[in-house]
Amino acid sequence: MKDLFGLKGEVSVVTGALGKLGPIWIETLLETGAPVFALDHPKARISEDFKKLQTQYDKSSLLLAFADVRERQALEAAYQQCRDTFGVPSVLVNNAGIDQPPGQLDKGYLLEDIPFLENREVFEVNTLGLFLVTQVFGSQMVKAGRGSIINIGSLYASVSPDSRFYDHIASDPPFLKPPAYGASKAAVVNLTKYLATLWAPHGVRVNALSPGGVLGTQDDEFKSKFCERVPLGRMAEASDLRGPLLFLASQASSYVTGVELVVDGGFTAW
């Protein structure tokens, strides 16, 4: 079983490394023996969770680099750095993305007033940026004849946000979960199927991992409302996400490609 789920020596790339979920994916990969090439935007702030990983693992196991997922030249330079340091990657976790929970927006919008540029930026990063990263790194996996690509989706790739989760939040106009977010993640799931069928003959598997609500700094009322809607009665914790990632990254899922693994506590079963 250790061999089945082990990733020793499997060079792994994780985008959005400094975000909320990035350190979760990175720690899981490192603990199973995979060297990790961590990638994030040049303006991203190094999170405390990532700093902890840097104290536990030296640069022979964990290397942080910077590139905008929308800039091909920067991504190609990052790939060269990854190859020169660790070798050709065999695991790619497409985690970089823009989410806009309450408190992160400068102001709220009525649906009809949402600026075009805000919608476009979400799609540029969440969908087009993911595709560009896959072009640069995934194509090298195709040449090598092996690899696993895991696209991080979302609960909202398949269902609409429930506005009642947010109606207690003081906002004028009332807070709306940006519609581009779920739409961009739905596009990621479809793109996953496209790439999976295209690259299956080349030994590269492509799957999506879609978490439900992940516990963080949400206010108590939101958490209460959300958990009432989840059959398992709680939000996801970091430990709930490690196993699914490891499954998709390792040979334990060697006959699995083109699927969306939804880790949502049963939310979408209702």
Residue 209's DSSP bridge partners are 152, 261
Query: What pLDDT, on the 0 to 100 scale, is given for residue 103?
Result: 60
DSSP conformational letter for 32: T
Fold of 2-264: Rossmann fold (3.40.50)
Query: What pLDDT, on the 0 to 100 scale, is given for residue 171?
Result: 83
Tell me how far apart the alpha carbons of residues 160 and 158 are, in angstroms, rounded to a whole number. 7
Tell me how far apart the alpha carbons of residues 156 and 149 are, in angstroms, rounded to a whole number. 20
Query: What pLDDT, on the 0 to 100 scale, is given for residue 81?
Result: 98
Query: What pLDDT, on the 0 to 100 scale, is given for residue 231?
Result: 98
- Spatial CB neighbours of 155, under 8 Å, sequence gap ≥ 6: 210, 211, 212, 213, 262, 264, 267, 268
Domain ranges in the chain are 2-264
Q: Which residues of the chain have pLDDT under 50?
A: none
Tell me how far apart the alpha carbons of residues 152 and 133 are, in angstroms, rounded to a whole number. 13
